[in-house]
């Protein structure tokens, strides 16, 4: 069974851009992509710029996303931001389980699972990141690691998962300039879809969009996005410059 999946490109700005710079970048992206509707587009600025970026995106086709969140709606969690707060700022999407969160902030599959459940019940679309490290790939464990991250991340997740996004981001490709070849990426994406089919059913697996992330640039985007199971990209470094980001979006038709 195969189904049309609209491609989706998300820019993960990470801990970059002052409020003013975020406004300038957003203005630039809106200008570059004025009237463009072929691909779903999401901007994920830092928390500090969600409000100004969201205000600029009103009346555009581009949607707002956050890079992380806590799972509780409110409470004594100093320094954290809740799903409801993100909804309050008109976020549609939230990146969860990014490898930098897993590596530097001890986010486990269990935590990611709790966050995915909280996002869905708050009507935020999770972009759940999975991916193996260099050592895991070299020791032949890549597929098993990704299987565990998907199975545990989506364990007992109820409700309609068809609109959620999975991002395959091999850790060795993030910010390193090393990109997975289209063949390597496609092989893992097909594996992910197979796991989704086994655990959540074929119809859900065919609807979930699986993004590739890891040093995507205007020069390599088209080849990656041509693969049958690659439904777009999660873009770090290249999303910080309006023209480069727009070129990647345009490569994803
Ligand atoms: C990311 O961090 O999600 C990412 C893909 O980064 P980069 O594009 O810079 O490799």
Pocket test for ligand 1, best of 97, 211, 236, 238 (most atoms within 8 A of CB): 236
Q: Find, among 57, 24, 65, 70, the residue nearest to 232 by Cα.
A: 65
- Identify the domain containing residue 128 by its residue range: 8-251
Specify if 148 maps to a domain.
yes
pLDDT for residue 253: 85
Tokens 């068809």 belong to 162
**DSSP-assigned beta bridge partners for residue 212:** 168, 233
Residue 2 has pLDDT above 70, yes or no: no
Domain membership of residue 209 (yes or no) is yes
Give the position, in ligand 1's atom list, of the atom nearest the Cα of 12.
Answer: 3
- Give the pLDDT confidence score for residue 1 in this predicted structure: 45
Site residues for ligand 1, CB cut-off 6 Å: 12, 169, 174-175, 213-216, 234-238
Share of the chain above pLDDT 70, in %: 99
Residues noted as catalytic: 98, 169
| Measured distance CA(40)–CA(181) in Å, rounded | 24
For residue 6, give Cα distances in angstroms to 3, 103, 221, 252, 253: 10, 31, 16, 9, 8
Whether residue 86 lies inside any domain: the answer is yes
Query: Does residue 186 sit within a domain?
Result: yes
Backbone φ and ψ of 18, nearest 5°: -70, 175
Residue 74 per-residue DSSP state = S
Confidence band (pLDDT; 50, 70, 90) for 167?
very high
pTM for the whole structure = 0.97
pLDDT digits 0-9 by tens, 99-111:
999 999 999 999 9
Give me the residue label for tokens 């019940």: 121
* Separation between Cα atoms, residue 197 and residue 47, nearest integer Å: 34
**Based on the structure, what is the number of domains in the chain?**
1
The distance of Cα 89 from the centroid of its chain, to the nearest Å, equals 19
Q: Residue 204 domain-assigned? A: yes
The CATH number covering residue 169 comes to 3.20.20.70
* Cα–ligand 1 centroid distance for 32 (angstroms): 21
């Amino acid at each position: 069974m195969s189904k049309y999946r609209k491609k989706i490109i998300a820019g993960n700005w990470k801990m970059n851009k002052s409020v003013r710079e975020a406004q300038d970048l957003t203005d630039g992206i809106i200008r570059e992509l004025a009237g463009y509707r072929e691909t779903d587009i999401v901007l994920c600025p830092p928390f500090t710029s969600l409000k100004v970026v969201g205000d600029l995106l009103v009346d555009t086709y581009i949607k707002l996303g956050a890079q992380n969140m806590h799972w509780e709606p409110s409470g004594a969690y100093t320094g954290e931001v809740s799903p409801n707060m993100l909804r309050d700022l008109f976020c549609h999407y939230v990146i969860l389980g990014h490898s930098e969160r897993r590596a530097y902030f001890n986010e486990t599959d269990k935590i990611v699972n709790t966050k995915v459940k909280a996002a869905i019940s708050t009507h935020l679309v999770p972009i759940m990141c999975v991916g193996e490290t260099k050592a895991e790939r070299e020791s032949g464990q890549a597929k098993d690691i990704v299987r565990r991250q998907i199975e545990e991340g989506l364990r007992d997740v109820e409700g309609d998962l068809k609109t959620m996004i999975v991002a395959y981001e091999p850790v060795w490709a993030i910010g390193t300039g090393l990109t997975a070849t289209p063949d390597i990426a496609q092989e893992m994406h097909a594996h992910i879809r197979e796991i989704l089919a086994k655990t959540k059913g074929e119809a859900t697996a065919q609807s979930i969009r699986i993004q590739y992330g890891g040093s995507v640039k205007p020069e390599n985007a088209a080849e990656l996005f041509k693969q049958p199971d690659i439904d777009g990209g999660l873009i770090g470094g290249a999303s910080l410059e309006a023209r480069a980001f727009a070129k990647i979006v345009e490569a994803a038709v």
